[in-house]
Copies of this chain bind each other. A is one copy, B any other.
């Protein structure tokens, strides 16, 4: 496509401008978790809005009201925008977030976290560079390069950029549901760029996420914490019960021991099984990210299935017991074990709850303890799996092949990005996760970075994706 060639040349020509735009964005410390930074979050939202306006988009800053549990704080606005209004074109709704994780130089950053610092290898360090300011600016940069190249923009673009993602996306679900049939009503498909390649060399398209049911098991007995010298050997101790109940949930190879869970998992077909071998991933990739060789499986295929398509159960810790360094001779009166189950098709939140509570009740009852046990669901989010055969994915796959010269891996992720499911359910449209950064970008850690190459080629990719979307036959797959 000759249009794409001139678009790509324009992206290369503007690359220093695009890095400058990212530098400005990283320079605004829009940390949504810090009360004192709320002004900077708002400033970042306004910066986006003004950039979008100068590119010719219609922009609105939409308030979300007071922050729950922090009524003295106003939530930062959602920046929504529309670029293009041509009913003959497809409309793509894109999502990103302009807030960032906290970052302090003292945490161990090699550079000032809120100053974009580019090293000789083109690694662009700075909080938010890859999560998620780089990808968000990618859409703006794609618009600018089209304009300056004089290339017609291939779709109508709806944008939704929020400022509270790193603090639970407070207020966003209701907003999306409210706007699904209003501002977002023309959307033909959704694209989210807020995750990462599986490795460093090969791009991927992501079509699935696991869900998460998070539980607490509270076991209590004595009226207050006891001294083990005085009461050890005469009182039934809640911790003794709790470790037994927790040990009944999962074994060292991650097998969930709760009856009725495995039965809910969609069976592995030969078709699906054959997909894992081709994914660009090695056990060394896993060992490097684990920082050890303590993996459950020794082969890549079962490791990827363990992460993506099977449920897992992790024991997170115990609240109420002695947890500090040193030696304290306490018998804790009330202890709360925490664990969660990562869920996959076809597990249902309620069916999982039922199996979990039945198992805990039965296991605790079998102990015949005088203590009390009370298990609760703390929160739940469902898994999400999209069809990678939808034109939204095939367009993105063609774009990857054009820009990177390679067919993308089709991947899932083990974690959850709750907004994905919200968009799918609110719009009823296909959602694509199209990552820009790589597995080494250290989102949420010290020394977060985005590689120059991933940023610049990523801008080309976003534009190319929109072109191929425009070329896909106008019927739903």
Contacts and interface: CB of A to CB of B under 8 A. Distances in A.
Contact of A318 (B233, B311, B318): B318
A114 interface: no
Interface footprint category on A = 35 or more
Given A228-B340, A314-B228, A316-B328, A235 B290 contact: yes
Interface in A336-364: 338, 340, 342
Interface in A217-236: 221-224, 226-236
Contact of A230 (B369, B370, B414): B414
Contacts of A329: 212, 214, 314, 316, 340, 415
Contacts of A221: 292, 294
Given A228-B312, A367-B252, A379 B214 contact: no
Contacts of A273: none
Contacts of A370: 293-295
B317 A321 contact: yes
A327 interface: yes
A143 B405 CA distance: 98
A322 interface: yes
A21 to B, nearest CB: 30
Interface string A292-315: 111111000001001100111111
A237 interface: yes
Contacts of A327: 214, 216, 316, 338, 340, 378-379
A253 interface: yes
A241 interface: yes
A368 interface: yes
A295 B229 contact: no
A338 B319 contact: no
B214 A233 contact: no
B230 A307 contact: yes
A322 B303 contact: no
B291 A222 contact: yes
Contacts of A340: 228, 232, 327, 329
